[in-house]
Amino acid sequence: MADLGADKNAAYVTAYSPSFLTHFYDKYVLGFNMSFMWGCPVDTILLPFFSENFSRNHLDIGVATGYFPATALSRPFRRDSKQHLTLVDLGPNPLRAASARVLSVATATEVRCIEADATEPPPESLRGHRFDSISMFNLFHCVPGGKAKLRALAEYKNLLSEDGVLTGCTVLGHAHAANWLTSLYLRWYNRRLKVFHNWDDRKEDIQEALESEFEEVETWVIGTTMLFRAKRPRQPLVDV
C-alpha cells in the first residue's frame, strides 16, 4: 500500500495470492509470527485492541484476510447489528477474501471494497465520507518508502468524524529487535523475501508522524510491535 509502481504492485498481488490468504496468512502471519517472533499475540493483545476501537461506521486499511473485523463482528451482540464497513487495499485478492469472510459471519453488514494506495490521497469514492473509526493493522511494515510512507496518516486523518479514532499496529525495525533471532528474522523478511520494508522503522519516527497529525496520541510497544491510537486530527494553519 505504497507508491510502488507497476512492478511492485504486481509483486504485492502475487504475494497476497488467494491460496496464501486462504491457507497460510492467519496461521502463519497472525498466529506464529505475531506470537512467537514479534511478541504481540493476536488473541490477547491485538484483537481486543481492535474490537475496543471498532465502530459501526469503520474504515479498515490493509485488510489481508479480514480477520479482525470478521472476528469482532462474529460476536453475538454484533452479528446482526447494522454495520457499515469500508475495506481499502492495494490488491483485489485481500478485498475479496476480507469481504467474503465478513459477510459469512455478519450478513447484515454493508461492505464496500476500494482498491487504493494508502500513501496517496484517498480516491474520489471516499472523499466527503467520514468514519467513526479507522484501522491500519499490520500495514506500515509492508510498505516501502521509509518515513515517507507515514504520509498515509495525513492522507486519511481527514476521513475521521469529529470524535473518531484511528488505530493501528506495525512491526518495528532492527533497532527494536528483542534478540538476535528476531533481528535475523527481520533481515530475512526485508532482504531475502522482500515482503517487509521496515528495517529502519523506529518508534520515534512513527510517534513523531502521529503527533504532527493528531492532537491526542497514545502508543505502546509490545515485543517488536508498536500499537497506536490517535484522535483529534490537527487542522492546517490558515493565514489571516
Query: pLDDT tens digits for 102-136?
Result: 999 999 999 999 999 999 999 999 988 999 999 99
Query: Considering the entire predicted model, what is its pTM?
Result: 0.92
Segment 178-194 mean pLDDT: 94
Spans of all domains in the chain: 6-231
CATH superfamily entry for domain 6-231? Vaccinia Virus protein VP39 (3.40.50.150)
Give me 135's grid cell.
Answer: 484501522
Task: Please tell me the predicted confidence (pLDDT) of residue 140.
Answer: 97
Give me 55's grid cell.
Answer: 465502530
Residue 43 reports pLDDT greater than 70: yes
Please tell me the least confidently modeled range out of 16-25, 101-110, 136-145: 16-25
Segment 180-187 mean pLDDT: 96
Q: Where are the alpha helices (DSSP H) in 53-198?
A: 67-73, 76-79, 92-105, 151-156, 180-187
Average pLDDT, the chain: 92
**Radius of gyration of the chain, Cα coordinates, nearest whole angstrom:** 17
Segment 198-220 mean pLDDT: 98
* Residues contacting residue 69 through CB under 8 Å, at least 6 positions apart: 50, 54, 58, 60, 63, 85, 98, 102
